[in-house]
Amino acid sequence: MSTQTNTNSESGVAAVMGSKIGRRRLLLSVLGLAVVAAGASYTAWYLLHGRWFESTEDAYANGNVVQITPQLGGTVVSIGAEDYGRVRAGQTLVELDPAETRVALEQAEAALARAVRQVRGLYSNVGSLDADVAAKRIALDRARADLARRQSLAVTGAIPQEELAHAREAVDAAASAFSAADHQLGTSRALVDDTALADHPDVKAASAVLRKAYLDFSRSTIKAPVGGFLAQRGVQLGQRVQAGTPLMTIVPLDQLWVEANFKETQLEKMRIGQGVTLHSDLFGKDIEYHGHVAGLAMGTGSAFSLLPAQNATGNWIKIVQRVPVRIALDPAELNRHPLRIGLSMSVEVDLHDRSGSMLAQTAAAKPVASTAVYAAQLAEADAKIASILRANSGHKSALARNRS
């Protein structure tokens, strides 16, 4: 009885052990098949997709930040825009007290008018001196003719020697007067030779002073050089600011790009012009942006940091470096779904097209950024100078008169 019980127990244990081994083999087989399937899936994904794309989450929206600073010092009397508000190019942002610059402008206007009239006097003086020299030459010729007649009479004794001496003295006096008048004419001509009224040095110097005064007066009104959205306004009413003091910034949101930081091992097949698909954490995966690689940085992020790594000293550990890559965005998509500077982006670069280069091959044919807001100030100054010249030049032909 005891022997039979032991036999049954051993059989039960063997059955249990066999069942466990069977389950273990089944699990190992399933695990093996899963590993093979995963490997096959990864291989298929890499061959069909992975090797043709490079992606990174280390990417951020970036753009121009236009800092607004005064070109001269003054006291703030008006502020024309507030943080987060939209501004247009040429809009008045800040006005400085114009009292001092207005006084300087009026003084410069008066100085230019005075210079024009003084130069007109120089031209007129040349004309009168020219007539005076002609009169002195006639007087000298008359005195010489008179002396010649008296000399012929003195030979015959018709006139006394004293009268002949007086005739010689008259010639010497006329010659001296002629020489002095001619010298004075030369001096006056030297002041106006080969110049028109508007080109005279005195007038040009006064015009330059007026131009500077007008620019200073115009620059007391600070205008937006570009359109965009205002940020970082730090200026307050009544504040005394100096030239170059940061007052606020403008961010043109239609000029944003993405700075994507790729590992150096991801750049082998990356080229300028390759297509890029992007997603923003702000809008999520539902909103997709498209762009292209605009350029690869000339160094890693650490190379341009304030304190670059000094790998030649101390212990060294190799760290895979990241290189910034600029991604240009589709303006239409950016207009529909505006981004902000600093937002996180997900970037995936399509590597199929490798016809481009890793470095830019041509230089920019035109300025990458420009503004015409300030050009009008100089044109207005020139118009005011021309107006003062017309008002003080007298006859219209005086503007084009030349003296030789």
Highest mean pLDDT among 86-100, 179-193, 293-307: 86-100
pLDDT given at position 402: 47
Phi, psi of 88 (to 5 degrees): -105, 160
Eight-state DSSP code of residue 239: -
pLDDT at 404 > cutoff 50? no
**What pTM, to 2 d.p., does this model score?**
0.71
For 74, the 3-state DSSP assignment is strand
- Tokens 């044109």, located at residue: 379
Range 367-373 contact pairs with CB under 8 angstroms and sequence separation of 24 or more? 369/64, 369/226, 371/89, 371/225, 371/226, 373/89, 373/90, 373/223, 373/224, 373/225
Dihedrals φ, ψ of 390, to 5°?
-65, -40
CA geometry: angle at 166 spanning 162 and 170, to 5°? 170
- Euclidean distance between CA atoms 268 and 276, whole angstroms: 16
Listing DSSP states for 327-348 in one string gives EEEPHHHHHHS---TT-EEEEE
pLDDT at 399: 43
Distance CA 203, CA 264 (A): 63
Task: Report CA-CA distances (Å) from 247 to 76, 107, 154.
Answer: 11, 30, 95
Instruction: Return the percentage of the chain with pLDDT > 70, whole number.
Output: 79
CA atoms of 219 and 101, how far apart (whole Å): 9
pLDDT digits (tens, 9 = 90+) for 212-247: 999 999 999 999 999 999 999 999 999 999 999 999
- CA angle (65, 66, 71) in 5-degree steps: 150
